[in-house]
Amino acid sequence: MTEFSFEEKTILVQYGIKKYENEETVTEKLKTILSEKDIQRNIDTLIGTQRVRRIGPEILQNNESHTELPDLPENLKSVIDNL
């Protein structure tokens, strides 16, 4: 697995949520590049900081009305495209 910074992991999780919304699907897709612990920790952090909200038991959504989605760094574009 490639080593990502905490900020990069957070961005990957946010863009994974934007792409799939279903928490189980997001976790399954990101497991190829991040540990499940990192994924869950970032989801919890994003919910706690109100950058992501939970819509029902399994659906996650970026809270774009509250905060903007961060710019996607060049080195993460291909990672997100391949999810």
Write out pLDDT tens, residues 37-68: 999 999 999 999 999 999 988 999 999 888 88
What are the angstrom distances between the C-alpha of 76 and each of 22, 59, 82?
21, 23, 10
Of 1, 76, 64, nearest to 32 (Cα)?
Answer: 1
13 or 66, which is more confident: 13
Write out pLDDT tens, residues 27-38: 999 999 999 999
Helices 23-30 and 6-20 cross at an angle (nearest 10°) of: 130
CA atoms within 13 A on the CB side of 12: 28
pLDDT score at 1? 56
**Residues 48, 63: contact at Cβ < 8 Å?**
no
Please report, for the chain, the start and end positions of each structural domain, with discontinuous segments joined by +. Answer: 1-61
CATH, range 1-61 = 1.10.10
